[in-house]
Structure 1
Amino acid sequence: MTLPVTFVEVVEVRRITPRTARIAFAAEELPDTVGTAPDQQLKLCFPRPGQREPVLPARQDDPMGWYQAYLAIPEAERPVMRSFTLRRRRPGTRLVEVDFVLHGDTGPAAAWALRAAPGDRLGMVGPSALYAPPVAFTEAAAAADWVLLAGDETALPALATLVEALPEGERVCAWIEVADRAERQDLESRADLEVEWLYRDGAAPGTVLTEAFRDAVLPEGEPFVWLAGEAGAVRTIRRHLVERQGVPKENIDFTGYWRHRLTQDDAPTAEDLADAQERVAGY
């Protein structure tokens, strides 16, 4: 299965909250079969200073070969790359929507999104069904007594697609940490969904969510848990659920999307590598 590698062009920019921009891109090429499942990852390639558009890696027949092709681009020309979750592909089109958390002018993705306008061009690697877990997720959710989804605003795009995919009658709780009340988003679901919004109001990222778990009395029955967001908070919550709440490790799907005070370009820490090894073992 070939991973899509294509240019995308901005066609629409909307502020869905004060700190979140939803940007619609028109892809030059995108197979009809991708981008329709929940929780699909993609990577956006941002141009270097002075470039109108980024240099993209050459296409490969091997679905993982694109990364070696990316590394083969001379460093001075190699695009800055960041990972995102596809929020939506508009049916019957090559239009895709991606949500950007606007956390200031310090990171390449947020800085670009603050100034994004129709006509701006990026590169996109993915999305691909290779990285979409809808069958495993929905089967695990159906086998559990109830479902718990938890994360911060970086997890909201994936979380929203997951609750949209769950069937009627599924009991689902979502705990979501955001900066303040203005960052709430409407979530649509056929499931029996209860949402608990948690506001940082100036607190450090992840602290409000971890405190909520520390003090929580969970519903009866065995849950299936999906966790995503700041890596340290995800790690702490997972340990609490396993060690204090008795949730089996295999019932927790967890991902650290970002790291406080570190970027995606920084080397993984020992804890990052241990988390990755546990995720692989869980699959």
Structure 2
Amino acid sequence: MKPAGLLEVTAVRRVTPRVVRVTFTGDGLAELEPWPDQQLKLLFPPPGRPVRLPSDGDDVLRWYQAYLAIPAEERPVMRSYTVRARDGDTIDVDFVLHAGAAGPATAWAFRAAPGDVLGRYGPDPAYRRPLSTADALLCAGDETAIPAIASILSEVDDVVAFVEVADAAEEQPLPGVRWLHRDGAEHGSRLLEAVRATALPEAAWLAGEASTVRAVRRLLVGRGLAKSAIEFTGYWRRTLTQDDAPTPEDLADAAEKLEDSASWKGS
């Protein structure tokens, strides 16, 4: 499959009051090999302009350099998403409509319609991570982690999954998930309470808002779970976007993930 290309919207529907599911078709999707937590980059064009893709696409570093070389007024905004499902030459991607001022991805999702076109990079097998082989796995995350957790539940038999959402209306039909409702509480607080109260797992998979992911990871490590047994990803930051510079905490997380990646590749 070509690592980069165009995606065309074929269907849009509200899954919950705050989640929009968009179905895309595009060249090469039929050859896409599925794997859990399959991430890709979506490229949103500036208002009133067609999406412009970098000319180089075979290597991620060359592709990203070519992306940065696009003039700022024509350069699409890039955001990371997880494939929710696939069927032949189509994929589904869920967009969480966060409260507050809408960023470019949320604004696009609000008005998405069949025929709209985005760019993509990936999913790239180079970023594929193996699932834990532990007998029992803890998954914990927020709304943005639902697509990945759904894919993990389809692959792993013994999973304890906690998902924190805004309220009961945001639950989705996922057997086995233990839904936690914020109902006005601070983001991440219900997730921390649930993980603190559950039995210590053999391994954990964490994703969602970055500071919450760090807090849950610290909690598990403090209770005795090895860092190497925790797969973690901060999908978004509460007060920053992917365009903002990484914080010292972000850089520390990235360094640990690179170290972990080198370990499992060498094992």
Q: Which interval holds the TM-score relative to the shorter structure?
A: over 0.9
Amino acid at match of 2:239: R
- For residue 208 of structure 2, the aligned residue among 209, 212, 229 is 229
- Report whether the alignment pairs 1:242 with 2:211: no
How far the C-alpha of 1:165 sits from its partner, in A, is: 1.7
What letter corresponds to residue 258 of structure 1 in structure 2? W
Q: Does 1:180 align with 2:167?
A: yes
Query: Which amino acid counterpart does residue 211 of structure 1 have in structure 2?
Result: E
* Displacement of 1:204: 2.4
Shift of 1:60: 2.9
Give the Cα–Cα distance (whole angstroms) in 2 for the partners of residues 235 and 96 of structure 1: 30
Paired with 2:151 and 2:135, the residues of 1 have a C-alpha distance of 21
Report the equivalent of 1:45: 43
Equivalent residue for 1:269? Answer: 247
For the 8 Å contact 1:150–1:226, the answer to whether it is kept is: yes
Report percent identity of matched pairs: 53
**CA distance, structure 2, for counterparts of residue 122 and residue 60 of structure 1:** 16
- The letter for the 2-side match of 1:209 is L
Cα distance change of structure 1 residues 35 and 151 upon mapping to structure 2, 3 Å threshold: same
Tell me: CA distance 1:120–1:60, structure 2 relative to 1, closer, same or farther (3 Å).
closer
Which residue does the alignment assign to 1:255?
233
Separation in structure 2 between the aligned mates of residue 200 and residue 81 of structure 1, nearest angstrom:
29
Question: Which residue of structure 1 lines up, in the alignment, with residue 95 of structure 2?
Answer: 100
Partner of 1:25: 24
CA contact (8 A) 2:30 2:90 kept: no
Is residue 24–residue 92 contact of structure 2 (8 Å, CA) maintained in 1? Answer: yes
Aligned-partner residue type, residue 149 of structure 2: L
Match status 1:152 vs 2:150: no
Displacement after TM superposition at 1:39 (Å) = 1.1
C-alpha separation between the residues in 1 aligned to 2:2 and 2:66? Answer: 12
8 Å CA contact retained: 1:35, 1:127: no
Question: Equivalent residue for 2:265?
Answer: none
SS in 1 for 2:139: strand
Contact 2:2 2:28 in 1 (8 A): no
Task: Structure 1 unaligned segments of length 5 or more: list them.
Answer: 189-193
Give 1:280 shift: 1.0
Give 3-state SS (helix, strand or coil) of 2:186's partner. coil
Whole-Å separation in 1 of the counterparts to 2:60 and 2:109? 28
On the 8 A contact 1:35/1:88 being kept in 2, the answer is no
- Superposed counterparts of 1:164-179, under 5 Å: 164-166=154-156, 170-179=157-166
Q: Is the 8 A contact 2:209 2:237 kept in 1?
A: yes
Alpha-carbon shift at residue 213 of structure 1 (Å): 2.5
Name the aligned partner's letter for residue 219 of structure 2: H
The secondary structure found in structure 1 opposite 2:154 is helix
The answer as to whether partners of 1:3 and 1:128 remain within 8 angstroms in 2 is no
CA–CA separation in structure 1 for the residues paired with 2:18 and 2:113: 17
Cα RMSD, aligned residues only: 1.6
User: Which whole-Å CA distance do the structure 2 matches of 1:71 and 1:63 have between them?
Assistant: 12
Shift of 1:66: 1.1
Change (3 A) 1:247 1:12: same
